[in-house]
Structure 1
Amino acid sequence: MRGTTMEFGVLGGLSVQDSDGRHLPTAPKQRQLLGLLLLHPGEVMPIRTCVTEIWGEHPPPSAATTLQTYVMHLRRLLARMPSVGSREAAHERLRTTGQGYLIAVRTDELDLLRFERTVARADRAAGDDATVARLLGAALALWDRPVLADVRTGPVLRSAVTHWEARRLEVHERYLDARLRLGRYRDVLPELAVLTRLHPTHEALHARYMTALAQTGRAGDALAAASRLTSRLARDLGVAPGPAIERLKAVIRHGGTVPVPSVLPSLPGRRRV
């Protein structure tokens, strides 16, 4: 039977589709509202929050009424989808609840929820690095671009996007650690090279990069990475690397066994240069 599967996407561009094709609002503010609701699935988003997201701190007097119109258009879009099929079902999907709106989606329908479900499975597999790496790799594969990359964002969405991008990086770090513990040093080098360029003051990523370089016989490159980190921390933040980086440098200089990083600070502390 056609049209029975429904999928929503936020881990990249905004996406709404079923087996009948893609169904997306074209109006920027409607896309903004839908993105806001999907980043908070099953959670009531107060009208005031929705208004602030779309119009900022100084909304027009008609904002609440216009918001109702946007919700009506989104429901019409959903009702036209074979996987929804009726106005009543669209109202069940996009509900008016109290003083706000809520979108109801199942875990298997939204990529964000599938991501978290897969990460939770990896949590339960702790100690089995091969399984952890496989599951976290599958979770990360759900992302193809930054969250809601093609949606205009206001203050509420910007905060939510920042949260989820930080969550993505946290999971990516755990994925890299599992692969390092499995001895896949060469495999992780390209990813770590990119990540350390994107996050030039992130000490934990640099520690992982230095470890992978040293373990593949590139001690000089590992120390050069540490030097770049030191310079960037001093220039951008006025701090020096923490003791974990200094210990790692000393081990590499003396040709010792380089440990796989365990728990390292993602950001420098209050160390002054």
Structure 2
Amino acid sequence: MRFCVLGPLSVVDGGIDRTPSAPKQRQMLALLLMNANHVVSMSQFVEELWEYSPPSSAVAAVHTYVMQLRRTLGGRAAGETAGPGRICTRDQGYVLRVGPGELDLDLYEEEVRVARNSLDSGALARGALELCAAQRRWSGQILVDVPTGPLLHAAIAVVERNRLDAVGRRIRADLDLGRHHGLIGELSSLAHEYAADEDLAAQLMLALYRSGRRVDALAVFHRLRRALRDEHGAAPSHRIQQLNTDILTAHPRLESPSRPQWRLSLDLVAPHAAAERPGPRPGSRVPAVQEFRRRSSHASR
């Protein structure tokens, strides 16, 4: 059985489409998949489906939806020949059992982890290629056709943030490899979508500058400054202001390196050996899921 969440929700079993059509069942299945092989409590289901205004029949409705999902999915996890089926009752909640390689999100995040290891070891071309392959697993916005409540919204935000981080890593590697000409279109689209993202703006500025478009690179800085002011009431950071100054003065450190020497994010003017910013590693399933489950558990109390 194959479960897909990186785009429209899809469940396919031996060529048979088992994707539920009812909105509440789709929403429950999505929540179970984002917590694959872990228990989702009754209170979490109720909060996700009805937020803060559940009907008096909410618990009974959840039991009914689970029964319908069990009938729709059928089957068992990969490698199992007997057992209660995919959805099991456990600890006053339910768990959806998903086997290795059955969920596209798991496959994607494992591929990103492998790619990050390649980049960290200095294999930039291989790492960039591996990240491109991982990105091809996406067929649109995650769970694009599923209604979302507060718990799914939080889970999706974590995955989307990690996806953007992975894209940034790949672009950074391509810039180090001197592929700036081919990045301008993609970066322009991303910088338009995430107008207040300083990392994307910095990468676009560098790609434009290295392509001989200094005026356009400076225009990106001014658009970023307006977006930060309008959306957050903030000013550009010192590092991207320094990048803007370096572009104005045509500083030699901005030239495309013959070998990787500079970190190509907001730290464009810092040596590559500068310490990475702390935080969860993009593409790592465990931090994303832990963060989501921690928020879910707190909200359900």
Q: TM-score, normalised by structure 1?
A: 0.88
User: How far did 1:217 drift?
Assistant: 0.7
Deviation string 1:136-169 (CA, Å, 9 cap, x unpaired) is 1111111121111000111111111111111111
Picking from 54, 62, 73, the partner of 1:59 is 54
Amino acid at match of 1:175: R
Question: What is residue 98 of structure 1 aligned with on the other side?
Answer: 91
Question: What is residue 124 of structure 1 aligned with on the other side?
Answer: 117
Between the aligned residues of both structures, percent identity stands at 38
**Equivalents in 2 of 1:25, 1:264: separation in Å?**
44
SS at match of 2:245: helix
8 Å Cα contact 2:77/2:99 also seen in 1: no
- 1:78 paired with 2:76, answer no
- 1:213 paired with 2:208, answer yes
Alignment of 1:101-116 (within 5 A): 101-116=94-109
**Equivalents in 1 of 2:51, 2:77: separation in Å?**
34
- 1:160 paired with 2:155, answer yes
**Equivalents in 1 of 2:238, 2:231: separation in Å?**
19
Question: Bigger CA drift: 160-169 or 254-263?
Answer: 254-263
**Equivalents in 1 of 2:246, 2:69: separation in Å?**
59
Question: Bigger CA drift: 247-256 or 42-51?
Answer: 247-256
User: Greater RCO between the two (CA within 8 Å, min separation 6)?
Assistant: 2
- 1:247 paired with 2:242, answer yes
**Equivalents in 2 of 1:166, 1:141: separation in Å?**
17
**Equivalents in 2 of 1:20, 1:137: separation in Å?**
27
Deviation string 1:91-111 (CA, Å, 9 cap, x unpaired) is 332111111111111231101
Q: How many residues align?
A: 257
Aligned structure 1 segments of 4 or more residues deviating by more than 4 angstroms: 81-84, 86-89
Question: What is residue 225 of structure 1 aligned with on the other side?
Answer: 220
Distance 1:252 1:198, change over 3 A: same
**Equivalents in 2 of 1:246, 1:146: separation in Å?**
32
Gaps of at least 5 residues in structure 2 are 256-261, 268-301
- 1:38 paired with 2:33, answer yes
User: How far did 1:83 drift?
Assistant: 8.7
- Aligned CA RMSD, in angstroms, stands at 2.0
User: How far did 1:88 drift?
Assistant: 5.7
Picking from 14, 22, 28, the partner of 2:23 is 28
User: How far did 1:262 drift?
Assistant: 3.6
Question: What is residue 15 of structure 1 aligned with on the other side?
Answer: 10
**Equivalents in 2 of 1:205, 1:261: separation in Å?**
13
Deviation string 1:217-244 (CA, Å, 9 cap, x unpaired) is 1111000111111122222222211111
Question: What is residue 47 of structure 1 aligned with on the other side?
Answer: 42
